[in-house]
DNA sequence: TCTGGGGTCCTAGGACCC
DNA sequence: TCTGGGGTCCTAGGACCC
């Protein structure tokens, strides 16, 4: 039994049931009730309150399989409201940023903080962090602290599952024998980077607990699996291999995806075209926001993987662009070209999407000598479009190809039957008392 | 009837070249 | 006509994450 090193300290802070908590901030009536938040299309359950978990509702469950709880246990449900969660996330990250010199935002509801060099005990400091987010934003959080990111994640898991720690667990504050006990108690599939497939294979090698994996030769793991899992073994031993990517040295995003399931299956290419065009427009807007251009666009369409009595078909095609671009019109053109190639009639399509990749910095843009495209004009048109949409709301101006059919008639539109208001991002929807103050 | 969306990284294998 | 190995680059697909 050897103690984990203490020279480095990384904290993982994350919001408890983040989406649920965001909704409860603005609707306290939801407090103490079983509540679930649904994915796009009201398809799956993506966030559950403690009370909903207690009913045995697992993460990711298709909503229709949980609907009976609405009657039997007054289960409350909401469609997801990403504008709200995104905005609350920004606020949370800002509050947390004040507690460390280095912060890496890892997902909408969690970030790493580098606490190396801080005075022990770190658990007290972590409690302070929790108090602050609760006081400023009414968002409950948990904190896990360890010498590597992987151990910090694991510590966070322990903090969350064991109420006696009141939301904070730190390896450094833990006796070496207790450290070992925890590692022996936790299943290997809880480790960050070990998913379903890997854990099944690890079980075959008699590696069942975190402790087992920690004490396997990383070289052997590298040969049998990959460098990624070997790195995880090092991390579990307190040797930090995954470094902090804070905002300053954040690598640029490498691809932008926009895809969605349809409200109902569609069979006509015209409707697919509308959907694809609107996905391209959204992705291209993101592309311009980060001041990039792209060189490749991938289009994919697919039938439902769950449909029992129809053939599966899920083609995709990647179209190279002669010049890197961020012009929605050119991207839509290319996407249509691809769609025509892969489309086959007679199938019931349930989902489509596009991926922009080979992203480049707009500044390094190279124009093709032989191209007829007037770059400057293209940039101006796109800038104007983005500006109008920013000022007057999304989709004020868009390409005709995204469908001129009146709103609800668009078959491919999402279902979102029960969405809360945009409490923090739209003047017209912020809570009354607050709105009054500003008028 | 109803089953999410948006990312990252790595690897194996094919094409091509010398 | 027969016959080789090694390197690089690219892509598709798989695994993982939230």
Map A20-51 to HEC letters: HHHHHHHCHHHCCCCEEEECHHHCEEEEECHH
Could you report the per-residue pLDDT of A280-326, keeping only the tens digit for each? 999 999 999 999 999 999 999 999 988 887 788 889 999 998 889 99
- Beta carbon of A40 within 7 Å of strand C? no
The token pair at A151 is 């151990």
Residue A255 approaches strand C within 7 Å at CB: no
Residue A106 Cβ < 7 Å to strand C: yes
pLDDT of residue A437: 47
**pLDDT < 50 regions, chain A:** 406-409, 435, 437-439
Between the CA of A289 and the C1' of B1, what is the distance in angstroms?
A: 40
**Is there contact between A41 and strand B, defined as CB under 7 Å from any strand atom?**
yes
- From residues 137-156 of A, list those within 7 angstroms of strand C by Cβ: 153
The secondary structure element, H or E, covering residue A416 is none
Percent of chain A predicted with pLDDT > 70: 94
List chain B nucleotides near protein: any atom < 7 Å from a Cβ.
1-11
Give yes or no for CB of A241 within 7 Å of strand B.
Answer: no
Cα separation of A44 and A80, whole Å?
10
Contact in structure between A46 and A60 (CB atoms under 8 Å): yes
Q: Which nucleotides of C are covered by protein (CB under 7 A)?
A: 11-18
Q: Pairing between strand A141-146 and A10-15?
A: antiparallel
pLDDT of residue A365: 61
- Could you check: is the Cβ of residue A60 within 7 Å of any atom of nucleic acid strand B? yes
The conformation of residue A309, written as its DSSP 8-state character, comes to: S
The pLDDT value given to residue A407: 46
Per-residue pLDDT at A411: 64
Give Dmax over CA atoms of chain A in angstroms: 71
Task: Spell out where A6-119 has E strands.
Answer: 10-15, 35-38, 45-48, 76-79, 103-107, 110-114
Contact A400, A328 (CB under 8 A): no
């Amino acid at each position: 039994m050897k103690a984990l090193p203490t020279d480095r300290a990384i904290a993982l802070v994350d919001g408890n049931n983040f989406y649920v908590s965001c909704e409860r901030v603005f609707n306290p009536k939801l407090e103490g009730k079983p509540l679930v938040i649904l994915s796009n299309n009201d398809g799956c359950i993506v966030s559950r309150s403690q009370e909903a978990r207690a009913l045995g509702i697992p993460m990711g469950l298709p909503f229709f399989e949980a609907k009976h709880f609405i009657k039997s246990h007054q289960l409350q449900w909401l469609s997801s409201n990403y504008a709200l969660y995104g905005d609350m996330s920004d606020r949370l990250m800002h509050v947390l940023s004040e507690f460390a010199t280095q912060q890496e935002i890892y997902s909408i509801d969690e970030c790493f903080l580098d606490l190396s060099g801080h005075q022990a005990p770190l658990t007290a400091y972590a409690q302070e962090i929790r108090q602050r987010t609760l006081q400023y934003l009414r968002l409950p959080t948990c904190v896990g602290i360890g010498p590597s990111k992987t151990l910090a994640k694991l510590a966070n898991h322990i903090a969350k599952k064991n109420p006696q720690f009141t939301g904070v667990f730190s390896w450094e504050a833990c006796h070496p024998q207790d450290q070992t006990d925890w590692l022996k108690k936790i299943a290997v599939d809880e480790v960050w980077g070990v998913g379903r497939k890997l854990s099944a294979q690890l079980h075959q090698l008699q590696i069942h607990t975190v402790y087992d994996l920690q004490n396997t030769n990383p070289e052997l793991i590298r040969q049998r699996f990959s460098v990624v899992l070997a790195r995880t073994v090092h991390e579990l031993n307190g040797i930090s291999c995954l470094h902090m990517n804070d905002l300053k040295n954040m690598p640029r995003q490498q691809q932008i995806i926009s895809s969605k399931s349809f409200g109902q299956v569609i069979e006509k290419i015209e409707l697919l075209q509308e959907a694809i065009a609107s996905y391209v427009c959204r992705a291209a807007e993101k592309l311009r926001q980060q001041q990039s251009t792209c060189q490749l666009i991938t289009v994919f369409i697919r039938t439902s993987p769950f449909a029992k009595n129809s053939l599966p078909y899920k083609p995709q095609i990647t179209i190279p662009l002669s010049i890197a671009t961020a012009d929605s019109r050119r991207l839509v053109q290319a996407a249509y070209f691809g769609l025509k190639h892969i489309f086959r009639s007679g199938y019931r399509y349930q989902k489509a999407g596009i991926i922009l990749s080979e992203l480049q910095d707009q500044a390094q843009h190279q124009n093709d000598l032989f191209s007829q495209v007037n770059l400057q004009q293209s940039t101006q048109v796109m800038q104007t479009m983005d500006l109008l949409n920013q000022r007057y709301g999304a989709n004020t101006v868009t390409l005709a190809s995204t469908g001129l059919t009146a709103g609800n008639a668009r078959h491919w539109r999402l279902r979102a039957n029960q969405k809360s208001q945009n409490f923090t991002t739209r003047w017209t929807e912020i809570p009354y008392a607050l709105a009054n103050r500003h008028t």
